[in-house]
Structure 1
Amino acid sequence: MKKLCLLFILATNVAFAQRYKTRPITGLLGAFGAEVELVKHTLKKPKTVVVDGVTFTTGRIGKQNVVVAETGIGKVNAAMTTALMLDHFRPKRVLFTGIAGGTNPDLQPGDIVIANRTAHHDYGSITDKNTPTRQTRNPITKEFNPAYFPADSMLLTLAGNVVKQIKLEGIPLESGGVSDRPVKVMTGTVVTGDVFVASPIKVNSLRSDFGADATEMEGAAIAQVCYQIQVPHLIIRSLSDRADAEAHIAYDKFYPTAARNSAKLVIAIVEALD
């Protein structure tokens, strides 16, 4: 029985992979208008395409054809925009740029997390035996997805190489100093939920339960869609706050710099693609 199930899954995946024919274009997504505009401003020969009410902008970055879109906030919006992009433009890969709340105590606002894996922190079931299930189910194969969606290894490696070669904008010191501090960049775990986290208690929970380095509201939804369609993806998050009780205050101060650095890194990755 297990062998038959495995053969069915493999056959389903192969059939779908054959049906999804990619085009030589890279998909770029961001949750907020300001984040997306930073990318769109670098496009050569931009052209607007509206698909079911969602605005996409095509153009070129370096030698790469790209399509850019704003997902809107939250998992449903992110999944919808990603699905429309994949269906209409058939990109070979998808990259996401945006901000997040930091949950790793070693990180400060302005630092960057390149997600090597993403997970839903607000999905699951709770039973009387206290055995939560956090895995979503793939509607194509009918099998459980992994609890953590892995980033594409090639894109992850490329991002790690690119970040060593670009100069990111210094982060204003929280205490107000004469010079900015450098940006710390790490690969790590990003968790996603339909909540803006501004609670040290929740931060501790996300850290202990998921090993989270950052929390946001779109990444895992995009990763799940890409994983199920078998399209390479990478989520990049620049921290605007520590997701604590002062998150709203820190957000106002660090968001502009964080958004610019995240967009700069994504653009540099696109330019470095073969």
Structure 2
Amino acid sequence: MSKSSFDVCILPEGQCRSFANNSEGIADFLAFLDSYNQIERLILEPTGGYERMVETALQASGLPLAKVNAGQVRQFARACGQLAKTDRVDAFILADYGRRMPIRPQAPVSAGSRSLKQLVQRYRQLSHMIVQEKNRKEKLVGKVKIWIEETLQFLQTQRENVVKDMEHCLSADCQLARKAEVPMSVKGIGLKTACFLLAGLPELGVLNKGQIAKLIGVAPLNRDSGQMRGKRMIAGGRRPIRNALYLAALSAIRFDPTMKAFYEKLKSNGKPGKVALVAVMRKMAIILNAKMRDHLDQNH
């Protein structure tokens, strides 16, 4: 994917085509796909937003689409000895990755979910800019400091408006609103965290407890070799979701008696505070996954 075009590789034929990344080019791409009797799945790499039009069109057509981690695809290419990088080579690597690796096609995304995802992304951008401006403000005096204070006021007001739009987005989509009620039923999780989970973790309720913990990045991973038994540590996962769950866990160990008792038990057994807190996060993730699975089963 690029701003102006996107390249496609069909396996096992190895046929490659390039299309313009606009309405006409996407229409040509869909017509090209119609010439194939059966498509197992389409593999799409996230590129910071350039893929959104193609993604929306493919989902609207009911085609099995899967988005993959760009870093993992690049590691796969290196493991295959493919060090060159062009759009056509990348298209082949994506198709080959999809052919060899177990990838689950993503569920169709509603218009409300897409809007919510954009609002969550904007909230994070504004929060990042607010932190930057506050850091600059500490080092300045005079008129420049006043300008920064004005900018901060604007950014904070817009962030508040984004939260209001999140509420409107949920109220306008009944199905999305019911899904948001599931995480908010857990102590420590409010509207913003629920929106972060819905936007950034659509697999919630679909994967098993071990998979969801790994996806978030709160599952301890083995580091053993021969007679050596390494220290279990968390690694990888979706950092924005993990950060949101971290704040939720801090609230949970204060206001949820069950989570507080669980946390205190781990501390009394000699676990460091951060390790105990990650265990609370993992427990919350498992509870959320089970609750969302029950919700999805009831509505199918």
Structure with the largest fraction of helix = 2
* Higher RCO (C-alpha 8 Å, min separation 6): 1
Structure with the largest fraction of strand = 1
- Asked if Structure 1 and Structure 2 have the same fold, meaning a TM-score greater than 0.5 normalized by the shorter chain, the answer is no
* TM-score, with length taken from structure 2: 0.28
